[in-house]
Amino acid sequence: MSAPGPDNLPTLTEVVGAAAPAASEQELVQRVLANVQRQIDLMLEQRLREALSPALARLTDALLREMRGELASTLRDVVARAVAQELSRHRDR
């Protein structure tokens, strides 16, 4: 999909030419507004994606680092308890 921009916007002549000859001014206004709204929606989505991608990537990296740290801490605790239980069993024999 090409990026929305001034080069691929329909001209007013194209919009008016697509209208039936008997189209009222109100219909023409509605058609032009609908077309402009579609273009704005496409540009807004593209710009938001461009702006949010780096921020989301940084947040994802930070979250992964934090989760790895939590997992490592939990794993150390589990191993320490397991070792303590095993040593306790051997002492009780």
pTM for the model stands at 0.48
Q: Please check whether residue 71 is in contact with residue 51, taking contact to mean a CB–CB distance below 8 angstroms.
A: no
pLDDT of residue 93: 76
Residue 9, pLDDT > 90, answer no
Does pLDDT of 68 surpass 90? yes
- What pLDDT was estimated at residue 51? 94
What does the domain layout of the chain look like in residue ranges?
6-92
Q: How far are the Cα atoms of 25, 72, 80, 93 from residue 83, in angstroms, in the given order?
A: 83, 16, 5, 16
**Distance from C-alpha of 20 to C-alpha of 16, rounded to nearest angstrom:** 8
Give pLDDT, residue 12. Answer: 65
- 3-class secondary-structure state, position 69: helix
Spatial distance between the Cα atoms of 52 and 57, rounded to a whole number of angstroms: 8
33 pLDDT above the threshold of 60: yes
Q: Determine the longest span between alpha carbons in the chain, in angstroms.
A: 101
**Cβ–Cβ < 8 Å for 28, 63:** no
What pLDDT sits at residue 83?
96
